């Protein structure tokens, strides 16, 4: 019984960690300023769950520069 909860906790922590890394990478791909990117990244890193939720609602998104050629775009 204890082992099952441990595995569940590890899986949940791994999912949160991967989502945080994805959010931080998304922040750095955004077109916001360096200070904004640093603050968002720090907030997500210091408060993994709350930071992820706040970033999901209020945070910067999108690519700073869209693909420059049709070869690099998926559309």
Give the pLDDT of the chain (75 residues) as one tens digit per residue: 678 889 999 999 999 999 999 999 999 988 889 999 999 999 999 999 999 999 999 988 666 565 566 666 565
Structural domain contains residue 44: yes
Structural domain contains residue 20: yes
The C-alpha atoms of residue 7 and residue 9 are separated, in whole angstroms, by: 5
pTM of the model: 0.75
Structural domain contains residue 7: yes
**Full domain range(s) for residue 7:** 2-58
Structural domain contains residue 54: yes
Query: Number of folded domains in the chain?
Result: 1
Reported as half-sphere exposure (CB side, CA atoms, 13 A), residue 36 has a value of 13
- Rounded to whole angstroms, what are the CA distances from 6 to 15, 18, 26, 49? 14, 18, 30, 19
Structural domain contains residue 66: no
Structural domain contains residue 67: no
Structural domain contains residue 70: no
């Amino acid at each position: 019984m204890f082992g099952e909860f441990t595995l569940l906790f590890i899986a949940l922590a791994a999912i949160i960690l991967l989502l945080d890394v994805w959010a931080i990478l998304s922040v750095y791909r955004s077109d916001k300023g360096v200070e904004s990117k640093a603050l968002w990244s720090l907030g997500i890193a210091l408060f993994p769950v709350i930071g992820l939720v706040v970033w999901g609602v209020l945070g910067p998104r999108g690519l700073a520069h869209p693909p420059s050629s049709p070869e690099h775009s998926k559309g």
